[in-house]
Amino acid sequence: MGSKKGPEETAPAASGTSGLARTALTAMVSASVIFGGPHAEGRTQKPALHGRHWMAVTGKPLAATAGAKIFEQGGNAVDAACAMIAATSTMWDTLSWGGETQALIYNPHTGKVIGINGLGVAPTGATPEYFHKLGMKYPPAYGPLAAVTPGTPGALMTMLAEYGTLSLAQVLAPAIDMADGYPMEAELVNTIEHYKDQIKQWPDSKRVMLVHPGAAHEAPEPGEIFRQPGLAATLRKLVEAERRELAAGKDRKAAIHAAYDRFYKGDIAHELVGAVRELGGLFTVEDLANWKVKIEEPVRTSYKGIEVYKLTTWVQGPVMLQTLNILENFDLKAMGYDSARYIHTLYQAMNLAYADRDFYYGDPAFSPASPIKGLLSKDYARERAKLVRPDRNDADIRPGDPYPFQGDKNPFLAVLEKWHSRMPQQSPITMAEFDRTFRLGTTSVEAADEKGWAVSVTPSGGWVPAVIAGHTGIGLSQRMQSFVLDASENPYNVLQPGKRPRATLTPSLALKEGKPFLIFSVQGGDTQDQNLLQFFLNVVEFGMTVQEASEAANITSYQMRDSFSDHQSFPGRLTVNTATPTWVRQELTRMGYQLEYEERSSGPINAIFVDRAHGTLWGGSSNHGEDYGIGW
């Protein structure tokens, strides 16, 4: 994303106008320019979706249709979410079947939010020493050595078995139909063609994706039927395992778990491991057999009476909760929507939370676990809020010490004291490549129904260019690159066999008075919790509808360390919307920001609002990409 100049707008305020008046004027102008005012629901670029019985929103219209099919068969929101995960994985919607799936589920029978941890682990032999011997400062971004164990099949089947109502055969039917052949959209066509030289490194990826070998354009054409017979056969094997157990008198849950075992312990696992190892990967049969999906209790915070839930520190989700805790110490509404003060305060609060992410987040199953109690302490947030400079960007924001706020002593205090906010550049990288990896996409899946089930998912991994593992049709994850190899960077996220890398994936659920209020997530690497924070504040602080909030202007900070590429950071670099008025731009520049502009800056947010006043569901999907949904 290079520096782009947006339209200049003149400020009607004279130089003597008070700061408060200018703030209010900024709020009114920004709001009217970007989404047409507080009651302009029809002026969003996409209309809001409405449903009485159910809502299904995801990254591709065809995948949303898969969710709708399942709802029409009587499935609940979990069943529909599983069908959408399967469809998006089959469509390579910046993910595939060998990636990872993270979910939050609200269970109306218990009134509890459940976390699904479907992130794979580093395989046997994946150590810092191994990659150092290869001359690498981080695990690679692509190829067989970039892959953690596949998580999406196990997470999907666990969610379905534990909280769904339909069979695996029913839920996978749309994905199997698509694997047999579906018309490919232009976005994926362009991605495959762009990365075709890398795809040619791996025989099965080349065979599946480059269907016109030797032609000037080797990828499929837009609208061409794209067939994946290997993947279709693998998915049918899962259904076959389920049917065999049902025929033997086993119950629904046991039958789905039999399919799970076939993937991770049976013939599928052996074929997948053989293909990976032939390409130089490290997976073993034991790695797949020993991996388990975890059903977890998520973490949460409260903001103005709303409970916001996230998965814990094996993803970046708590960073949004930390930022909300910090922002509680400021009167955001009085600052005005997208005023210079508002943007500056958001930027500083996010950077404080992200600095903690960059040092403290990692797999809590490994000792010492991240100090999550201290990180989410309101007292700790108040101390961090005191560091926000009102006049300038702080280019050297560092992690704090949350341990005293949970009654403990920091085991890495010596490392913390030497930690620097900005890494020295490890290798040449263009800004375009940095931006691509910083915003590296995934997809999101949101589902809700009239019975009270609510599901938010961010499946990812195995994006193009991906290694396809033999004739399984399974595209492998690239999540290994999110590890560090040096404890001085993040002692909680150092690569180790059996460990989950700290990922960026971050589904979100918000409850009001104990019931689902907002179900929301977004794709985009390190931008995810930046977008989701602003979406949430748009609804809660500024009263926007779910569609207005999903399209409204966002800012993007690059001051945190990138979770991909070379883990770089760019303090003070700030993207704002092209509709940002001139006087706001001037104030931000005076504060030390280097501004860039985007016309559509919200990120591809997908969301559902549960309208309890009317007993309906509102679906929202930003104008950023192809994401959309269906409601009834």
Single-letter amino acid code for the residue at 434: F
- The values of phi and psi at residue 452, to 5°, are 105, -5
Task: Put residue 245 in one of left, alpha, beta given phi > 0 → left and psi -120 to 50 → alpha.
Answer: alpha
- pLDDT confidence of residue 438: 58
- The residue assigned the tokens 């400020």 is 11
User: How confident is the model over 521-547, as a mean pLDDT?
Assistant: 92
pLDDT for residue 239 is more than 70: yes
Helix 168-180 vs helix 229-247: angle between axes, to the nearest 10 degrees? 160
Residue with tokens 């839930």: 309
Using omega within 30 degrees of 0 as the cis cutoff, is the peptide bond preceding 465 cis? Answer: yes
Token pair of 25, please?
């004027």
Whole-number pLDDT of residue 3: 36
Strands 445-449 and 54-58, how do they pair? Answer: antiparallel
Question: Comparing C-alpha atoms, which of 631, 474, 623, 618 is closest to residue 98?
Answer: 474
Q: Is 567 left (phi over 0), alpha (psi -120 to 50) or beta?
A: left
Q: How far apart are CA 235 and CA 168, in angstroms?
A: 10
User: What does the pLDDT read at residue 525?
Assistant: 77
CA distance 387 to 351: 11
Instruction: Give the integer Cα–Cα distance in Å for 515 and 162.
Output: 21
Q: What amino acid occupies position 178?
A: M
- Nearest of 622, 617, 506 to residue 80 by alpha carbon: 617
627: nearest Cα among 5, 112, 18, 46: 46
Distances 532 to 227, 547, 583 between C-alpha atoms, Å: 35, 13, 26
Enumerate residues 6+ apart whose C-beta is below 8 A from 289. 264, 265, 269
CB of 515 within 8 A of CB of 586? no
pLDDT at residue 27 in the model: 41
How are strands ordered across the β-sheet holding 54-58? 294-296, 112-118, 101-107, 454-457, 445-449, 54-58, 628-631
Residue 198: count of CB within 10 angstroms of its CB: 16
Q: At what angle do helices 77-90 and 61-72 cross, to 10 degrees?
A: 150
Report the SS3 class of residue 512. Answer: strand
Tokens 């560092």 belong to 398
Q: At 247, list the tokens.
A: 């025929």
Residue 267 scores a pLDDT above 90: yes
Q: Note whether 231 and 271 are within 8 A (CB).
A: no
Per-residue pLDDT band at 16 (split at 50, 70, 90):
very low
Q: How many CA atoms lie within 13 A of 44 on its CB side?
A: 23
The CA distance from 557 to 350, in Å, is 8
- In b/e form, how buried is each residue of 298-314, taking b as 16+ CB within 10 angstroms? bbbbebeebbbbbbbbb
pTM, to two decimals: 0.92
Distance CA 293, CA 118 (A): 5
Encode pLDDT of 389-421 as tens digits.
999 999 999 999 999 999 999 999 999 999 876
Lowest mean pLDDT among 18-22, 92-96, 588-592: 18-22
Residue 433 has pLDDT above 90, yes or no: no
In angstroms, the CA 354 to CA 558 distance is: 10
Q: Per 3-state DSSP, what percentage of the chain is helix, strand, and coil (rounded to 5)? A: 40, 15, 45
- The whole-number average pLDDT for the span 96-102 is 96
Residues for the chain: how many in total?
Answer: 632
- Of 482 and 525, more confident: 482
Residue 306's DSSP bridge partners are 303, 512
Nearest-Å Rg of the Cα atoms of the chain is: 23
- Pairing relationship of beta strands 573-577 and 594-598 according to DSSP bridges: parallel
Question: For 27-47, what is the mean pLDDT?
Answer: 52
How many Å apart are CA 420 and CA 571, to the nearest integer?
12
CA 322 – CA 225 distance, rounded (Å):
46
Distance between CA atoms of 141 and 438, rounded to whole angstroms?
A: 13
pLDDT value at position 431? 65
| Alpha-carbon gap, residue 225 to 235, rounded angstroms | 19
Mean pLDDT of 309-320: 97
pLDDT of residue 392: 93
- Predicted confidence (pLDDT) per residue in 565-582, tens digit: 666 788 889 999 999 999
Q: In whole angstroms, what separates CA 595 from the centre of its chain? A: 25
Parallel, antiparallel, or unpaired: how do β-strands 299-303 and 306-310 relate?
A: antiparallel
Q: Is the pLDDT of residue 141 over 60?
A: yes
> Other CB atoms closer than 10 Å to residue 613's CB: what's the count?
5
